[in-house]
Amino acid sequence: MDSTEAGFATAAPQSAAPQSVEHFDVLIVGAGISGVGGAYHLATQCPGTSFVVLESQGGFGGTWRTHRYPGIRSDSDLYTFGYRFKPWTGAPIATAEEILRYMGEVIAENDLARHIRYGHAITAAAWSSAENLWTIDAVRAEDGQPVRFTTGFLWMCQGYYRHQGGYTPEWPGLADFQGRIVHPQEWPDDLDVSGKRMVVIGSGATAATLVPAVADRTAHVTMLQRSPTFFRTGRNAIQLADELRQLEVDETWIHEIVRKKILFDQSVFTQRTFDEPEAVTQELLANAQEHLGPDYDVATHFTPGYRPWRQRIAFIPDADLFRSIREGKASVVTDAIERFTPGGIRLASGAELEADIIVTATGFHLNVLGDIAFTIDGRPLDFADTVTYRGMMFTGVPNMAWVFGYFRASWTLRADLVADFVCRLLKHMRSIGASRVVPALRPEDRDMALLPWIDPENFNPGYLMRGMHLLPRRGDKPEWQHTQDYWTEKNAFPAIDLDDPVFVYDGPADASRARVRESAFPAQ
């Protein structure tokens, strides 16, 4: 794996010197769901703070702009995937178009567009302890010119996978196939699936979305999986929300009430998957059997070899995947790939799947911090050598926060929690006259066991296992790990003591440092 694949580089790339340098108090990386949310919270919680959002793509949206495959939709409900400050009024499982429209409204309603620079791909981030500043180098897409920024605080909101290309295993005979091979992350605009035989390799949320979306147009679509996945079904509607709207309750209240109800139900279900996994397994399988019919082989095709929520449970609204299978428009094959052939795929069982189009819904490349060459005082930074503070800061890395959401709950829930923390931290630094903060292990943490980012027995999807060596380590205490527990963190984050010895601050040392401090954390 080269340094680009690893999610960080070992040295800053050589490029022409930028013409000028712009300074901002805070620089946000990425204009997806996290970055737009971070911009909102900075503008509202830290008025007077100058900030910029740098986005490599040509517009906002992140994953909802990258992916354009048929049927793309959220896998989480929008009452919790949406922001807490912006009521969601549509169906809970939303299309990419609806999500982009919602994000566009957030940007317009809060005058955030003036803070966002699109087409800016960051190549390097260098921290200087002498100046207490990050220097950010980027390339501007419109003219290919290098540009440079400095900032007092770096807020990483770029997500966790590489947008430039998805993950496709190196199967034997891949080049022999005479049809088209497509990864959902790189869906071509000219692909016509009408009347074609399609094989979708994979069984996660992407495959479960794509298969029913094309089933009415293809000659037939087959979901080819190495092993099954758990699915949940339900109406793409929330009865409580509908009833409250009938009573003409204010949408802000509806959003808050329904959000709390969903979170409560999710908490109960998640806890049951740990306390009584066999009972939950039987419920999920019985639901699949009911939708697929009494004669369908659920044991082979929809019975995973792991307990529920050890990998993500995909939600299929209105059971559309199961309906396509029951109607004969789609089918599922559970087998291993031996090799690709000119006309399709030969399986380990000896069977051959004929195909005109093969879609590799096989995941993505984990991208720890944006394929950016990070240095601290001139030394290359490997994030795998750090220990994470609550999954959002790193030992030895000053003035930086990272948004990494939840596996079992909506990403945005944690984005909001991290935003509240960052804004509180910035204001605290100003109040004590500090221009630098860096997390550090306390004396009582020195002998703490250091472990992988997450316990594989807890959660182990393929993309995470392939990239675990790239991620920071965790400790065996809650403050030194990403607990993946929103229901605990929603109370723990607001209670974080910013005077805890975990946070090592500096004070002004000279006039230039004082100038940076005043710029970075202005008075309220």
Half-sphere exposure of 386 (CA within 13 A, CB side): 25
Residue 101 carries which side chain, given as an amino acid letter? R
- The CA-to-CA distance between both ends of the chain, in Å, stands at 47
Q: Which amino acid is at 217?
A: R
Distance CA 311, CA 158 (A): 23
pLDDT tens by residue, 283-324? 999 999 999 999 999 999 999 988 888 878 889 999 999 999
The amino acid that residue 420 corresponds to is D
Average pLDDT across the chain, whole number: 89
Express each pLDDT in 323-348 by its tens digit.
999 999 999 999 999 999 999 999 99
CATH number of 3-163+365-520, picked from 3.40.50.150, 3.40.50.10800, 3.40.190.10, 3.50.50.60: 3.50.50.60
Reply yes or no on whether the pLDDT at 105 is more than 50.
Answer: yes
Separation of alpha carbons 365 and 465, rounded Å: 11
Using the predicted structure, report yes or no on whether residue 512 has a pLDDT greater than 80. no
Q: With a cut of 50, say whether residue 420 has pLDDT above it.
A: yes
| Structure confidence at residue 167 (pLDDT) | 77
What average pLDDT does the segment 154-182 reach? 88
Q: What global pTM score does this model have?
A: 0.89
pLDDT > 70 fraction of the chain, expressed in percent and rounded:
90
> Cβ(425)–Cβ(496) under 8 Å?
no
Has residue 8 got a pLDDT over 50? Answer: no
Predicted pLDDT of residue 524? 31
Q: Which of 8-22, 27-41, 80-94, 441-455 has the lowest mean pLDDT?
A: 8-22
- pLDDT range class, residue 75, cuts 50, 70, 90: confident
- Report how far residue 393's alpha carbon sits from residue 370's, in angstroms, rounded to the nearest whole number: 15
d(CA 445, CA 439): 12
Count of Cβ atoms closer than 10 Å to residue 175 Cβ: 7
Nearest to 291 by CA among 301, 276, 279, 280: 301
Residue 15 pLDDT: 47
Helix axes 251-275, 239-246, angle to 10 degrees: 160
Confidence of residue 467 (pLDDT cuts 50, 70, 90): low
Three-class SS of 249-287: CCHHHHHHHHHHHHHHHHHHHHHHHHHCHHHHHHHHHHH
Residue spans in the chain of domains classed CATH 3.50.50.60: 3-163+365-520, 168-362
1 pLDDT above the threshold of 60: no
Q: 15-67 pLDDT, tens per residue?
A: 456 668 999 999 999 999 999 999 999 999 999 999 999 999 999 999 899 88
- pLDDT band (50, 70, 90) for residue 507: low
Share of the chain above pLDDT 90, in %: 76
Q: Which CATH architecture has domain 168-362?
A: 3-Layer(bba) Sandwich (3.50)
pLDDT band at 133 (very low <50, low <70, confident <90, very high): very high
